[in-house]
Amino acid sequence: MKVRLGLFFVASVALLFVGLTVQAQDLGPGFHKIKDGIYTFAPDQTTTTCSFAVTEAGVVMIDSCNSPLDSRRMAAAIKKVTDKPIMFLIDTETHSDHTGNHFIFSPSATVINAEGAGAGMRKEYNPKRAETLAAQSPEMREALKGEKMIPPHIEYKDRMTINLGERTFELIYLKNVHSFADTAIWMPKERVLFASSAANVRTFINLRPTVVLPDVIASYKLMKSLNPEVVIAGHGQPTTTIIFDEYEGFYNLLMKRVGEMAAQGKSLDEIKKELKMPEYTDWQGQDRLAVNIDAAYKSVKK
């Protein structure tokens, strides 16, 4: 009996240990373990990231993943790590590659983003999204079961703090940086920052007309001032504050060049034809230079 109890004890401790140390590779390709209980799913350099943090009181997710297939992978990964429910799903922006798959996690998740997020999602909602995706494959069609748009249940203004279990999540509204409502999520104890799509990883961002470059640069200064150890951008692999320096350098140089050409009397179209950024030829999304010039032109003409 004693031996059996001993064996039982050893087995239980081993199980507990296994439960606590789920490695990223156990969750599948594209998963990264950021810290104990914090994981990011970043399939490649450009695909939308989505993440989760386990607490004693449940799970907090950041973004709902790029495609419903990715979201199903995410849901399966969370189940491997914990049997606790997903309590909150925080969006870092309004675009459908981050918000289109809320339905897979909610219920149970309460969806949160900054003020204006629901209106932004409705404005950009593509009623054909599910139909178009479903045509890709039978697996995708299956993953789309129950598809519907779920705008945030809670919208906050400027700042919001979520205390769940042993963890704290500070939500910070970033103005004019990417979509209709952008949120950075700061975990002060773990020093992990989810930076939204204000910066990505060495990729030209598809800057919408609402983006204001000086506000974007201000958001970098704010996020850097938190002194994070790990930075998770809206797209790309986990990184550090180096992305804020890289993008700040890029936008400053772009605004300088656009400003000089505008001062020479060149039109926006002429600038778009002539301006090159040879220092950044290794960045992805080169075809987006034109919309970056639009944003820079708007800033220097102010």
Chain residues that interact with Zn ion, rule: CB under 5 A: 93, 95, 197
Least distance to Zn ion, CB of residue 93, Å = 5
Residue whose CB is less far from Zn ion, 55 or 101? 101
Least distance to Zn ion, CB of residue 208, Å = 8
The residue number with the shortest CB distance to Zn ion is 95
Residue whose CB is less far from Zn ion, 55 or 196? 196
Contact 184, 172 (CB under 8 A): yes
Residue whose CB is less far from Zn ion, 55 or 92? 92
Least distance to Zn ion, CB of residue 205, Å = 8
Residue whose CB is less far from Zn ion, 37 or 234? 234
Least distance to Zn ion, CB of residue 300, Å = 24
Contact 178, 196 (CB under 8 A): yes
Residue whose CB is less far from Zn ion, 95 or 202? 95
Least distance to Zn ion, CB of residue 98, Å = 6
Q: Which residues pair with 51 in a beta bridge?
A: 40, 62
Residue whose CB is less far from Zn ion, 197 or 299? 197
Least distance to Zn ion, CB of residue 160, Å = 21
